[in-house]
Each structure stands twice: as C-alpha cells, then as structure tokens.
Structure 1
Amino acid sequence: MTRAIVARAHRAARTTTTTERRRERRDGGSRAKPGGRAMGTGDARRRVRVGARAEDAGEGRRETGTRDETRGDGDADADADGDGLAYRAASAPTKTDYEFALRTAIRDENYEEAARLRDLIDSVSRDAARAVQDANEGFYRAFRDASVSAMRAVWAEGAHVQCLHPGSAVVSGARDVMESWEIIFASMPDGGADVQCADVRVHAGDGWGFATCVERVSGGASLAATNVFERQLDGSWRMVLHQAHGVMSLGAAPTKVDW
C-alpha cells in the first residue's frame, strides 16, 4: 500500500502533463486559463519538465529497489564513500516521498488522502525517533560496560565518522575512533563506569537523526553530549558523531573528568 501511495502521486503528475499536451495540440498550442490568461508553450514545457522530473524520480526509486531486493537488505544505496548523511529507502517510501504525495493530494483537493498521508508522515517520524533513541541507549550501554565489541557495533564505518572526547581534538575515521575508545576503556575501573544519560532530546529525519543529553559520570561530573546517527543499508542506526564537553556554570571552571 505504501508504494501505491507514491505511485499514484507520480501518475497524477504524468497525467496532468499528458492532458495539457493533448489540449495544446487540439487548440493550436495556446489556450485560455481560468481568469483569462493564455497558456502557451512555455507553460506547457514547464509542466512537461515537472512531470519528467517526477517520472525520473519514480524510475530511480524502482531501479534502486530492484538492486536492493536482489541484495536482500531492503534499503537503498547510501553514499558509496560513506561521507554523507543522505539515505533513500527503496523498498518503502520515505518521509520525503510521503510529503511529495501529500502536496499532490492537496493540489488535487483530495483531502481524505491528504489526511491519511499526514498520519503516515507522523508515524514515520515517530518510528525514526524511536530508532534513534534506541541507538543512543545502546551507545551508553556499551559505554557503561566498557565493552569494545559492543561499542564497535554502535558505530558506523567510514572516513566521515568522528568523535570529540572531552578536552581532546577531533578523532576522524572509524578505525581511529575505535582506538580512542579502547584507550578510554583501558583506563576505566573493572566493571565499567556509572554513566547515565539525562535530559535526552531526539530528532530524526530521512535516514539520519541526533540526540542531545547530559552525561552524568560517576564522581559527580556532568558533560553535555551530542550524538548523531545514520541509518545503514541493513536498516540499523549507527553513530557517526559523538561530541562531549564539560558543562560550565557562569563563573565556574569547566568540568574535569577522571575515569
């Protein structure tokens, strides 16, 4: 059903274009729009371009979907170099696809369909936010347990992965990021550390999301953290950026963390 929604939107765009071309051929290339303004070939060409873009987008999604169904992961190709947050689903419409269909439904005054699409958009947004929140909790579980293997499962692969530990320069690349966590875990006491995440705020879009929170570390230290996640080809959400820094009140020194 979800594919049919977007397909109907694209068919509507193509139907509008085809109808206008037929009318122009019949009327000699120009006809009057309501209100008295003539619609010439320039208007028709603009409509054709819009229709062609919609059709090309639909074909691109179908081709990508064929590749992914063969591969079996059910998701679209992400950036091959892993250096961006772009993600396009092929097996199921994304939030962007639903928004396109919603605009089409409103334009066609199909308000019942528009209301249904709004509900779907809300549902997709909630699902993505929950997935980001789950991934964020997985990160802090690995942190508390001082587990290198669990932390490795949290992070994405690629040169775009970055981590900023408190008081340190940025660490770039998945391998270097994991080495930094190995060093931190080696300095932590046996059994890990008591790291709690409070005041969590989550936002998610098509294939990306972030969480902000306050890390409360054993010993009373507090750190402000930003965690950015990216949806992978297998549908999982992996971290691509972690940044933490000391929380400082007015007139107070920055928080220092000793593991």
Structure 2
Amino acid sequence: MSRLILCSDDFAYSPAISAAVVTLARAGKINAISCMAVMPGWAEDARMLADLPPHVEIGLHLTLTEEAPRTAMPRFAPGGRMPRVDPLARTAARWTVPLDEVATEISAQFDAFFSALRRPPAFVDGHQHVHVLPGIRDLVLAETAARAPGAWVRDCTDGTAAMLSRPFTGKAIGSAWHSRGLRAAAAALGLRTNQGFAGHYDFRGDYAALFPRFLRRPGPMHLVMCHPGAGERAGDGIAAARIVEAKALHRLPIADMAVAEGLAFPA
C-alpha cells in the first residue's frame, strides 16, 4: 500500500504554532513535522518534540526568506533580513544569488537542528520551497547527502492528472515547474524523494472541504503539506488559516480518508 505523509510545515515559527503542531502529532493527525531551525525560539520549541510517537518524522525546513539568518549574509540579507521569495526566485533564475553565503547559512541551519535534537533530520525541504531553486538546490542536496544521507528530500512535482484533480492547479504546476529535475539530482547523490505532492490552496475558505482533494491520485510516497497553528505573530499573513487548518485536521477522520484512497496512515 502507498503511504501518506501529512507534514506540518513551520514548526518554531512561533511557540503557539509549535504547540499546535505537537498536539496534532500526539493525536495521530499528522506524521511529519518540518522545523524552522533558523528561528530564535527553535531550541526552546524543540523540547516539545521529545517523546513523540516513533512514526512521526522530524525534518528540517530550510529557511532563506523573510527571517533573520543565523550567519552573516551581507549580500543575501542586507540589513539582517532575508529576501521575499519572489525576488529570490528571480535572482536564482539569473544565477546571481551569492551562493557562498547561502551555503554557510544552510550549514548553520543543519548545525542548529543537530544541536537541538542530537540527530540528523529525517527529511529536508524549504520554507516556500526555496530548496528547489537553481543553485540553491545543489547546495541543499550536497549538504543533505553529507550530513543526513538517510533523509528524503521534498519534491514538489506530481503527475499532470493528479495536479488537475486537486484545488489551485496553477500553484501546483508552478511548484512542479521549479522542482523539475530535482528527483534525478537527488538520486544521483543517493537521496530519496517523496512521490506525489499536494496541499496547495489560497489559505482561505473551507479547508476541511478541500482536504479530501489533496489525497486524490496519490503517489506511492504521497506528501501533503499543511500549515496548522494557533495564536498570532506579527507579519504572519496566514495566521487565520493556520487556526482553521488545525481545527479541521483534529476533526477529520484522516486515517479512514487515507485508506479510501489506498494510502497507509499514520505509519
């Protein structure tokens, strides 16, 4: 049977979000947590991850947008703040990103993950999918292969029919376009990737009604990203959606819904 990985992104974005994510994991509603080790509260929030059920995978959510970096990045993050994702994507497409600074920052975020949890990440991805961008992806894959060779890497591609069956197809196609070639590049370094990817929407509307469509036409290692949370943090444009997602995930019979689509969950 194919496997569903329901992954909550943005752990450590705020203590309230971290607590909401851990509550879902303990309730058996998610089975993967992607952590922002760049955040100033990361080490404290990481303590919440102790004694989670063994099937819950803990990964690294590499962050190269909008937050303060862990390292000095005078060209990439002038003024101490990393760029927004759209300007970064354009810069990466022109191959003008200061990759030396990015490599040092990626390594520092791996260091922070190791320091807090004393183990390598089970998987690696990127906040706002920055890990797939030109130049940056090579650094991410190389660091992962060197420091977490057993980890899998998030691949945002999927089959055309699968993307057409889900909400917000345009966003899915855009992510797939940026991710093209990632699986082959990862495999060349001995790294695995998920096969099947969903979870795109506009952070509005009835999340519970949208969720079943994320499970349609699943891949054999089908990854669905989600962003549940609680509370508010200044600058969080999806704070309200996080609360809606958390309530929906608690309420939905996710294991039964997964089985109906031929997916094993939570294991």
Specify if TM > 0.5: no
Larger Rg: 1
Higher relative contact order (CA 8 A, sep 6+): 2
Q: TM-score, normalised by structure 2?
A: 0.22
The structure that is strand-richer by fraction is: 1
Q: TM-score, normalised by structure 1?
A: 0.22
